[in-house]
Structure formats: C-alpha cells, structure tokens
Structure 1
Amino acid sequence: MNYYYHPNPTTNPVLSTEESSHAVKVLRKKVGDTIHLMDGKGGKYEAEITDANFRKCAFRITNHEQLMHTHAQVHMAIAPTKNIDRLEWFVEKACELGTAQITILLTQRTERKKVNLERLEKKAISAMKQSKNFWKCQIDELTPYESFVTQLESLATQSFIAYVETGQEEALQTLIQPQKNTLILIGPEGDFTPEEVQTAVQHGATAVNLGSSILRTETAGIIAAHTFNLVNGR
C-alpha cells in the first residue's frame, strides 16, 4: 500500500506538487480512487480523489485513525560526516528504524560546518513512508555541542555517549534500560575529545562502547539505534 505524506490533510486537502505528480502521472490515479495518507504525527488517513490534477491533486478524507506512541523513543545526536552522502544515508536508515529525533552536532573535530536540512527532511519523509512508521523523525539543524550537552538531563531519561579512545567503557547493550526515552551521542571521524566526553558525563551521560571494531560515524549511529530497538523488542 502506497502512502502519501501531508502534514495537515484536514485543513488543506491537496497533495503537494511532488506527491500529486506521483499519484496522477506515475500511479495513474483518477477521480474517485482511494488513496492513503500519513501526517507524520501518527495520523493515518483514507481519502478519495476529487480532482486528479497532477500539480494539485485534491481529495476528501473518508477515514482517519490516530495512532499513539506505545514505546520509548530514541534521540540520536550525531556529528555530520565529511562526505554528506554518508550523513544522508544515516538519516534515511535511522528513520527507517523509527528514530524519533536526530540532532546534528557541531563538535571540536567536526569537519563539515554546513548541512542541507531540506535534503535531510526529504530523506526522513521518504524513510517514514517506506517503513510505515507514521511518525516523522524530527531533524534538528547543526547545533553547537557545548550548548547541547547542557540540556541532556531534560532531553531524555537516560543518555549515552559513544567513545572509543580509552576502551574501558561498558557496552551500550549492557547499560541501556528498556522502556525509557534515550539519547545517544555519536562523534565525528576522530571521535569526541576527552574534554567533550567529560562534559557530557558531568551532565548525566554515560560513556559506552559499541563493540571492538572502529566504526565510521554513520555506522556507529545505526548500530546504536538498532541496539536501542533490540533492547526494547522492536
């Protein structure tokens, strides 16, 4: 079943230009056909096409179901990769795994100082539709590490910072507690600095490892998100 994304289908019952073109030109939808929509906030909609315009496909809603969150959420805070394709890959896969929020971190060793938030949003929407998670992952703009870590205790019930330099940290899967909203910080190529780790720990984070291998930033992020899912039986 194909789903179309519309953030406010009840107040503006017209598909976006991109979604309209896909429905009318690609899938050959016509007046009277049924389509299914998601609003990225847990809303599932069934609708009937009233105007099969390939630029502004109009519809009327015939059924609406509001889903509720029944499990804990994970928030990934990750430094952007130098190669933007790898960051976009991470966002896509993390969203497929059901990650609720992604914050892009500007750390001391971050090489990329700019990200295209619009492209990341498109990746998040595409992943939501493909995986049928029904909640769009919130993508935050590039955020200075220093200001972000001071908020850790208010952002999640438990928080972790992945760190490989000392090799003394316990594994994430042994420390993460199920059914608790969780925040996991992933560093850049070159890892967090010892000072950054210390600051995070001072604000409530626990330093952890993600295994014995040295992982790329985006791989570490996916391992962490998947570990959260496994612990929570998702």
Structure 2
Amino acid sequence: MHLFYTPDITLSAQQYTLSEEESKHCCRVLRLEAGDQIYLIDGKGGFFTGRIDEANPKRVKVEIVDKTEGYGKRNHYLHMAVAPTKNIDRFEWFLEKATEIGIDEITPLICDRSERKEVKIDRLNKVITSAVKQSVTAYHPVLNEPKRMKDLLSQDFSGQKFIAHCEEDAKQELRNTIHLKNQYLILIGPEGDFSTNEISQSLKSGFIPVTLGNTRLRTETAALEACFEVNFLHR
C-alpha cells in the first residue's frame, strides 16, 4: 500500500496534487506511474483512495475515487506529557512506537530534573509522520511545543489525569484506575524522576499517582507502557 500524508486535502476534493517532496518520492523512489492506485490521509481521520493522473516528479496529480471519514477512530483520547530524554533517539523511539500503537497528543515536558530542555519540533514531527504512514492510520498525533511542568498543571483538562513516578508513596495500578472511553492525560518524568515538589503539586492539581509495574523503567519505556495499557484496555 502506497500511502501519502496530505494534511491540506479537503473531504470534498475530487483531485489533488502531491507536494514536490511527496511527488519526488512517488515517482523516483516508488517509481509509480499514471494509472497506479495510491492512498492519501489528512491526519484528521480522512482516508482517500486515489488514482495517479499525471506522474511528474514535481507535481503528481491524483484523481480521488473514494474517501472514508473517521477511518480507524478510537473510542478514547490519550495525551502523553513526557520529559524528553537526554539521548533524543530514545524520545524519537517513543514517538514512533506510540504513534503505531495509538496516541492523540504529545507534550514534551520540562521538569526540575530534565537533562534536555529543548527539542526540534520539525524533526520530531517527521518521525511521527513516518510512523503514521507506516502504520496506516488516518490520524496524525498532535505534537505540542515543550511546556514546563507548572504551566501544564495550570491548564484545564476534561478527563482523567495521572502521574507515574518512582517515589515510595501510595499508588494505584494504571489499568485498575482508568474509566473506559474517556480522555486521559498521563505525565512521565525525566531520567531522575519528578521532584518531590512536582509530585506534590500534581496531586494538588488532581492527578492520580499510578504505577506501571514492579520494575523501574526508563522514561521512554514507561511512556510506551502507559500508552500500551490504555490502548489494550480499550480493545
């Protein structure tokens, strides 16, 4: 299946022209020609079947022959706020795998003990887009700009809020706590964990402390575990 990410396509479109980057990939890498069938996604649930009318490396023109709205829509909304890892490859790995499993929104979270406080949003979005195409999903997760912990805690959120931390406090297992078909915001801290003050402030803001198992997980592993648990419970 040859899938292209086309965020500016409209549901009423009868024809569409691929961007120069996607056109080049279509013609020179995939070597597709006029008459070949391709698929387009808008990242908002639109899934389109198209037929190539003109195969030009700079502008591939496509006739839209079928479309589906809400393709693969899930019955819940998952927002993960995760501290970027010192080794950015690990954070990119999380973004790739979480996109494949199912996630709606990601916020890089800047904490007291964060070793990395800046990320390249454009690069990370490319990782997500590649994973969207590979997993054949019509929804492109939203990647927010990095946000400090205190700013995230001050935001309104309609749904359940969780924080996974390593301190020896009373915590519930995530899988026993979530209410199905809901919205979820889950906080995952940096390699050195959340500070005591951050944990205290999150609890005051209505976050439920949870555990993801008996072993201490790396940041990216904990984030993916939480993502998997939420999606598995909604199958």
TM bracket (short chain): over 0.9
Corresponding residue number in structure 1 for 2:163 = 161
CA RMSD of aligned residues (A): 1.5
Match status 1:18 vs 2:21: yes
Deviation per CA, 1:162-206: give whole Å up to 9, x if none: 011115312111112211111100000110011111111111110
Q: 1:135 offset after TM fit, Å?
A: 0.3
Cα offsets for 1:187-234 (capped at 9, x unmatched): 00110011111111111110111111111100000000001012212x
Matched, 1:149 2:168: no
Residues 170, 209 of structure 2: 8 Å contact kept: no
Aligned letter for 1:45? F
Instruction: Indicate the percent of aligned positions where both proteins have the same amino acid.
Output: 40
Aligned to 2:124: 120
Provide Cα deviations, 1:81-100, integer angstroms capped at 9, x if missing partner.
00010111111111111100
State the shift of 1:70 in Å: 4.5
Correspondence for 1:195: 197
| Counterparts of 2:231 and 2:69, CA distance in 1 | 23
Question: 2:91 aligned to 73, 87, 93, which one?
Answer: 87
- Return 5+ residue gaps in structure 1 as ranges: none
Greater mean alpha carbon deviation, residues 66-75 or residues 177-186: 66-75
Letter in 1 for 2:133: K
The equivalent residue for 2:38 is 35
Q: Structure 2 unaligned runs (5+)? A: none
Q: Decide which of 213, 223, 226 is 2:225's aligned counterpart.
A: 223
Q: Output one character per residue of 1:70-112: Cα deviation in whole Å (capped at 9) or x when no partner.
A: 5011110000000010111111111111100000011111111
The residue type paired with residue 198 of structure 1 is S
For residues 45-60 of structure 1, the aligned pairs below 5 Å read 45-60=48-63
Aligned position for 1:7: 7
Letter in 1 for 2:212: L
CA distance, structure 1, for counterparts of residue 206 and residue 233 of structure 2: 21
Q: Choose the corresponding residue for 1:209, options 188, 193, 211.
A: 211
Residues 159 and 183 in structure 2, CA contact (< 8 A), matched pair in contact too: yes
Q: 1:27 Cα deviation (Å)?
A: 2.0
Alpha-carbon distance in 1 for matches of 2:157, 2:115: 26
The verdict on how the C-alpha distance between 1:16 and 1:91 changes in structure 2, with shifts beyond 3 A counting, is same
Deviations 1:102-139 (A, max 9, x none): 00011111111210101111111111111122100000
Comparing 110-119 and 17-26, the one that deviates more: 17-26
Q: Contact (CA 8 Å) 2:121, 2:143: kept in 1 or not?
A: yes
- Structure 1 contact 91–123 (Cα < 8 Å) conserved: yes
CA distance in 2, matches of 1:174, 1:70: 20
